[in-house]
Amino acid sequence: MISEENIKIRYLTNCAVFIEYGTVKIIVDAIFSGKQPFNIMDRETEEEILNGTGEFENINYVLVTHCHNDHYNGSKLLKFLKNNPQAKLIVPSNARLDADRLEEVRATPIFLTGEAGKIQNLDFGSLHIEYMKTNHLTYRYPDHYIYNIILGDANVLLTADMDYVAMEWLGRFTKKKYSVVFLCHIFLWHRKWREQIEALNYTETFFYHLPDEERDRNSYRKKALMYWDKHSPDFTNADLLQYNLPILRGKYEIY
């Protein structure tokens, strides 16, 4: 049994998260396009991920919430799989991955399908993943999934661009002794959403997908900082994550 003290979570940028739990390594939404309106991965980190070097050596699982350019890039994923044949790819069914290239790199992805609001399960022994289809936050999108990663006494719930309607669905997921939830910063904007977040009572709550100043074309950053400044005192054990902002919370390492 892996205790919660072993968990390391590094926030990369956008909705990209790197999780280590003992010998298990997971990346979520961490391989994406450079042609999109949100943050671009710094070259050194991206090369280490794609090549499987440094702390990203021997990645076990690659999870994709949906196939928008700021979360996903098919050609980069194929390059990653070629360099990291041990990795298992879990991706929505509308992912455009060339079948011949998949055969060439000997990859057999798990393509997700499902009914909105219904929890489904993947069991790999060393970890268990609950996943659910939801709508996209700002408009309808056919294949958007959220993941609850369960490892020993811990769980990490990653919601990406989940529609606010699904907030009540989050209570259906398994919650362990040490629980972490990642939510889009837009959920700070309305009182009902903030109250729903507090009611979840997670050990740690992180608001992410905040663009840096140079990429803030829709004033998301400005609004998020304004709402966070106003309402952060109402939250316990919560942070608004900014790109490359290191955080150390007690015995848990959150990069």
Q: What is the pLDDT of residues 33-57, one digit of tens each?
A: 999 999 999 999 999 999 999 999 9
- Cα separation, 204 vs 162, in Å, equals 18
Looking at the chain, list the stretches that DSSP marks H as alpha helix, in order from N- to C-terminal side. Answer: 43-51, 74-83, 99-104, 191-200, 220-231
**Residue 247: per-residue pLDDT:** 47
**Whole-model pTM?**
0.93
Give the span between the Cα atoms of 22 and 6, in whole angstroms: 6
DSSP conformation letters of 32-68 = --SSSSSPPPPHHHHHHHHHT-GGGTT--EEE-S--S
Tokens of residue 73, six digits: 């890039």
The secondary element (H helix, E strand) that includes residue 124 is none
251 pLDDT tier (thresholds 50, 70, 90): very low
CATH number, position 57: 3.60.15.10
At 69-128, the pLDDT tens digits run: 999 999 999 999 999 999 999 999 999 888 888 888 888 999 999 999 999 999 998 899
Specify whether the CB–CB gap between 254 and 9 falls below 8 A. Answer: yes
Asked whether the beta carbons of 15 and 161 are under 8 A apart, the reply is: yes
Q: In what order do the strands lie in the sheet with 178-184?
A: 120-123, 128-134, 144-151, 154-158, 178-184, 204-208, 238-240
Which structural domain, as residue segments, surrounds residue 192? 4-254
At residue 207, the 3 state secondary structure works out as strand
- Please give the tally of structural domains in the chain: 1
Task: Report d(CA 132, CA 170) in Å as an integer.
Answer: 9
